[in-house]
Amino acid sequence: MLKWLKRVIYIILVVFFLVVGMFFAIRNPQLISLDLVFWKAPELSVALYVILSFMFGACVALLASSVNYLRSEREIKVLTRKYEKTRQEIDALHKASITKELSVEKR
């Protein structure tokens, strides 16, 4: 039930940011040239530089979070294997105790 609400909120946010971006691009048509320490960028509009910087930041954030995600996935796999091994040991001990109880009762 909440999936449709989540989808609607995402659509509203995307449309909102697109409108804000378009408004920003229309209001700032002037060209600028970035002069970095070792490189001079070509003249582009302010809006394009802002959009490119946001995209670069999003890519860096995605890479940083993917490293953390992959580390968590690996840890989940290791812990799942340990859990399964422990579960098998518990089952084996449980079966052994049942077998021992049955053999004691038969005597």
Q: Where are the domains of the chain?
A: 1-53, 67-107
Question: How does DSSP classify residue 40?
Answer: E
Contacts of 41 (CB under 8 A, 6+ apart): 33, 34, 35, 49
- Strands in the chain per DSSP E: 31-35, 40-45
Residue 72 has a pLDDT of: 94
Amino acid identity of residue 4, one-letter, is W
Name the average pLDDT for the chain.
86
Write out pLDDT tens, residues 64-90. Answer: 999 999 999 999 999 999 999 999 999
> What CA–CA distances, in Å, run from 2 to 5, 7, 8?
5, 9, 10
Question: SS3 of 64, please?
Answer: helix
